[in-house]
Structure 1
Amino acid sequence: MMGKPNPNPAPEEEKSLRDELLGPILLGERVIKLAQEAESPKVDCTELARKVQVVCDNLRSVVRVVSGTQCVNERPIRRIVGEVSKNIERTLALIRKCKKHGGVLRQVFSMTTTADFRKVRSLLESSNGDLVWLLTILDSKDGTNVSLPPIASNDPILAWVWTFTYTLQLGQPKDRAEAATELGSLARDNDRTKFIILDEGGVMPLLKLLKEASSPAAQVAAANALVNITTNQDRVVTFIVESHAVPIIVQVLGDSPMRVRVSVANLVSAMAEQHELAREEFVRANVARPLVSLLSMDMGTVLTSPELRNEVKVSCAKALWKLSNGCLSSCRKITETKGLLCLAKIIESESGELQLNCLMAVMEIAAVAESNADLRRAAFKRTAPAAKAVLDQLLRVVQEESDPALRIPAIKAIGSLARNFSGKVPQVIGPLVAQLGNRDVDVASEAAIALGKFVCPDNYNCVDHSKAILELDGIPKLMSLLQINDRQQVHGLKLLCYLALNVGNSRVLEQERALNTLERFARPVQAQHPDLKDLFAKALHHLTLYQPGAQLHRQPLGL
């Protein structure tokens, strides 16, 4: 059951709406009585009274319709009734002036208020038009209406949102699916419209439509609309979470037709990408279980097309990717449900977007494990079958795939797991060293970043890993990378500094003129990255100790 705000108004809320409708009715009756008592201008006052009477009659009709309608969106009613109340109050103020003036002043007053009467008549006509539009919507039983109420004449989006929202609540399944599609189209690439849909009560009917299993087409339309509305909107995602709708979304993901699950998995991705609160709430609702199950399922035995089967897996893999981003609890759930083994198998056997999404999920899980030793030991223990399968596939991608979009997340994931490797591991270090010479600067830079995590002082086995890089001829490749004038040059310099600290007595470093290279790049890089000052100073000092004659020729760098 979705929590507050409740789509089913409580009795006291219904009474509050009736009271809000009763206010302008009583005010209107007062205006009519005063207009009848006014002496001049009699004709104008009588006309106003007649228009107010029509407005009051329509207000009473709204009361009757609302009292007999369940789950109706109150927001448009309150907006319209609020505007009607203001217009009746303006009418009352004008009528009062008519009653106060008399004698010689009456003629003068009537001349100066002709424009006022015209303005108030126009306002009352607008109020009547708004109420007629509202009654047409509510009486139509499906919420369809192509006209615009006067209140929305300057902002048609408002009327469209109201119309589609009422269709979601009152229409037939086909009409409701179309209304959800229209709301989704309005929300696409328009942040203001997303806020209007939320503020005008359009999100809750979409969530309710998503829950109902009678029409898969309507569920798909509702999920797609919610994806568009939640994209780049923290406030909408927060509203959905605080409405306790996440368990319902997970339930629909687990027991709906496959085409519905695709859209719902996309909704999970959109919400998880947008807000940490959503990620945590999805973890509590155990969304990892249906996602991993769908990824693992042999869908060849289900009434499913290859295209739809691929769509399901692509969307589920993306959802796992977005859920894993910086979320420890989500990563734990995924690894506990054998998600890593599933991801490894897909990386091995699939290609394209599905393979990429699985790689991105592994990359995010590894990034969280990098800063959490418990997860790293539990999920990526090298002797565990799942961890071994993942590492094998990451290394295979780095070595065999040519697409940088695939290589980069694999390299990042290996780098995040650097602390898991003890002693010399050339089978792991080797593929990374090879990528230092990649013609794609982004790939080469990521390899430098990953290797930096193997040889940084925080890594207990940094010396052994540094020796492995030397033995694999990594220094010449690194020095070639440093000759490329690129914004990511700093990563190669950090790697060189770590190597200088760990194996500074190496002849290779001397032969490749590592000291001269550091001296040449230290000052400009330090200007942009002052936090590296100490690292550069220590590396330069260390190399100076081991290279003959270096002290005689070295120029002070002010480090």
Structure 2
Amino acid sequence: MEWLLSIYMPQSWSTPTYEKSVKVKVWSCIATVKMERALEDRVRAVKQLASLAEQNDEYKNIIYEEDGEPSLQRLLKEKISLDAQIMAVKTLCLLANEKDRKRVIMKEMVSTILSHLSRTSAMSDQIQAANLVTGIAEHNPELKEYALIRENVIWQLVTLLSPAGDTKPNPKLKLSCSRALWMLVQGSISNCKTLTETKGMLCLEKSQPESNNEFRHSTFKSSSSAAKAVVDELLRVIKEFDKMKLRIPAIKSVHWQGLFQRKSAK
């Protein structure tokens, strides 16, 4: 109501304090994200929320307390541009500045992604979700180490590449999933280990369509740059780190990759 009064009856509102002016801006942005039909306006509002959240924790708390988080989460469930969703993720990450709040926000975010990656979801939703994972890994690389992504998203992406029976996955879906996996493992020893445990590289090699050159060059076959990036990262960990907790899984992962190469050569 304060926001409506400030817009339609400014004379009835006392001289706004700094806090009130920030709240009005937040309310306006959230309302635009919720109700504005024009995508351009919604994206602009999300960017404004991100800009406010970047300034200090006080603004983050105002956005969170004024119901900004559910509004941003809803953007991840809609068929909107990838850029808009990536900006929404960035803003949500900024809001997750407290331990309990981070747990709630990240759980909801990953839950939405997983629901769209489900094998029962429409293929267009699966492709959009896989592309969003790629965007998240590229623009918010710290999220790659988040346990729910490692333990659930990687497995679900590999599952979409392993259809049962005679069903063949759509080449566009396979390309989106392979790119997402590529981005998730780059620079992440834990994600490399998870991917080798799922035998995702074998899955990608077996299922690659010879007619799709773009997909073939982006998969994790033994000669690809993606596979090389995985192995290079594992070898770097083995050489540079003394901690056995890191070296042992790295050695096991390289072993899996070696088995994969020998199998592919046959």
TM-score over 0.5 (shorter chain)? yes
Q: How many residues align?
A: 231
Q: Distance in 2 between matches of 1:373 and 1:178?
A: 50
- Separation in 2 of the partners of 1:241 and 1:186? 20
Question: Greater Rg, structure 1 or structure 2?
Answer: 1
Identify if the C-alpha distance between structure 1 residues 334 and 293 changes in structure 2 by more than 3 Å, giving closer, same or farther: same
Indicate how the Cα distance of structure 1 residues 168 and 257 shifts in structure 2: closer, same or farther if over 3 A, else same.
Answer: same
Gaps of 5+ in 2: 9-13, 219-223, 240-245
Alpha-carbon separation, structure 1, partners of 2:16 and 2:156? 46
Residues 234, 131 of structure 1: alpha-carbon distance in 2 compared, 3 angstrom cutoff: closer
Contact 1:296 1:342 in 2 (8 A): yes
1:332 alignment counterpart:
193
Q: Counterpart of 1:241?
A: 103
Distance 1:317 1:235 in 2: 28
Name the CA distance, whole Å, in 1 between partners of 2:252 and 2:201: 14
Distance 2:17 2:232 in 1: 49
Which structure 1 residue ranges, 5 or more long, are not aligned? Answer: 1-61, 63-79, 81-129, 137-148, 393-559
Equivalences for 1:134-283 in 2 at 5 Å? 151=16, 159-169=24-34, 171=35, 174=37, 178-180=41-43, 182-184=45-47, 187=50, 191-192=54-55, 196=59, 199-201=62-64, 202-211=68-77, 215-217=78-80, 220=82, 223-229=85-91, 235=97, 239-243=101-105, 244-245=107-108, 246-254=110-118, 255=121, 256-271=125-140, 273-274=141-142, 279-283=146-150
In structure 2, the CA distance between the partners of 1:200 and 1:365, relative to structure 1 (3 Å rule), is same
Deviations 1:66-108 (A, max 9, x none): xxxxxxxxxxxxxx6xxxxxxxxxxxxxxxxxxxxxxxxxxxx
| Mapped partners of 1:311, 1:382: distance in 2 | 22
CA distance in 1, matches of 2:40, 2:253: 45
* Structure 2 letter corresponding to 1:291: L
Which secondary structure does the structure 1 equivalent of 2:80 belong to?
helix
Deviation at 1:380, TM superposition (A): 1.1
Structure 1 residue 262 displacement after superposition: 0.9
* 1:318 partnered with 2:183: yes
Cα 1:183–1:373, aligned 2, differ >3 Å: closer, same or farther?
Answer: same
Question: Matches of 1:350 and 1:340 in 2, distance apart?
Answer: 13
Aligned to 2:11: none
Letter of the 1:203 partner, please give it.
E
Q: Does 1:288 align with 2:154?
A: yes
CA deviations over 1:459-500 (Å, ceiling 9, x no partner): xxxxxxxxxxxxxxxxxxxxxxxxxxxxxxxxxxxxxxxxxx
> How far is 1:337 from its partner?
1.3
Aligned-pair distance for 1:205? 1.8
Distance 1:347-1:374 versus aligned 2 partners, 3 A rule: farther
Q: 1:380 aligns with which of 237, 247, 255?
A: 255
8 Å Cα contact 2:158/2:177 also seen in 1: no
Residue 188 of structure 1 contacts residue 228 of structure 1 at CA under 8 Å; is this kept in 2?
no
- Which residue matches 1:52? none
Q: Where in structure 2 are the equivalents of 1:20-59 lying within 5 Å?
A: none
Counterparts of 2:253 and 2:192 in 1: how far apart (Å)? 11
Q: Residue 379 of structure 1: CA displacement?
A: 5.2
Whole-angstrom CA distance in 2 between matches of 1:383 and 1:326? 17
- Where 1:380 maps in the other structure, the secondary structure is helix
- Separation in 2 of the partners of 1:377 and 1:337? 13
State the Cα distance separating 1:373 from its structure 2 match. 2.5
Task: Describe how 1:9-158 pairs up with structure 2 within 5 A.
Answer: 62=1, 132-133=5-6, 151=16
Contact 2:32 2:45 in 1 (8 A): no
Q: Indicate if the aligned counterparts of 2:231 and 2:254 stay in contact, CA closer than 8 A.
A: no
**1:219-267 superposed Cα distances (whole Å, 9 cap, x missing partner):** x465222343367887389844333222333323444242343124322
Q: Using the alignment, how far apart are the partners of 1:216 and 1:376 within structure 2?
A: 42
Alpha carbons 2:150, 2:194 under 8 Å: kept = yes
Aligned-partner residue type, residue 194 of structure 2: K
Query: Is this contact kept in 2: 1:187–1:228, CA < 8 A?
Result: yes
In structure 2, the CA distance between the partners of 1:331 and 1:182, relative to structure 1 (3 Å rule), is same
SS in structure 2 at match of 1:235: coil
CA contact (8 A) 1:253 1:264 kept: no
Partners of 1:195 and 1:299 in 2: how far apart?
A: 51
- Residue deviations 1:145-168, cap 9 Å, x none? xxxx96477997754432121333
State the alpha-carbon separation in 2 of the partners of residues 289 and 249 from structure 1. Answer: 13
1:270-317: per-residue Cα shift (whole Å, max 9, x none)? 45x2257x5223234x11123335577899846x5xxx9756643442
The normalised TM-score by structure 1 is: 0.32
Identity of aligned residues (%): 17
**Which residue number in structure 2 is paired with residue 109 of structure 1?**
none
Cα RMSD for the two superposed structures: 4.9
Is structure 2 residue 219 aligned with structure 1 residue 360? Answer: no
Maintained 8 Å contact 1:334/1:340: yes
Q: TM-score, normalised by structure 2?
A: 0.59
- Separation in 2, partners of 1:165, 1:279: 27
Q: Structure 2: how far apart are the matches of 1:347 and 1:379?
A: 26
Distance 1:189 1:387 in 2: 49
User: What's the CA shift string for 1:107-160, capped at 9, x where partnerless?
Assistant: xxxxxxxxxxxxxxxxxxxxxxx56037x6xxxxxxxxxxxx964779977544
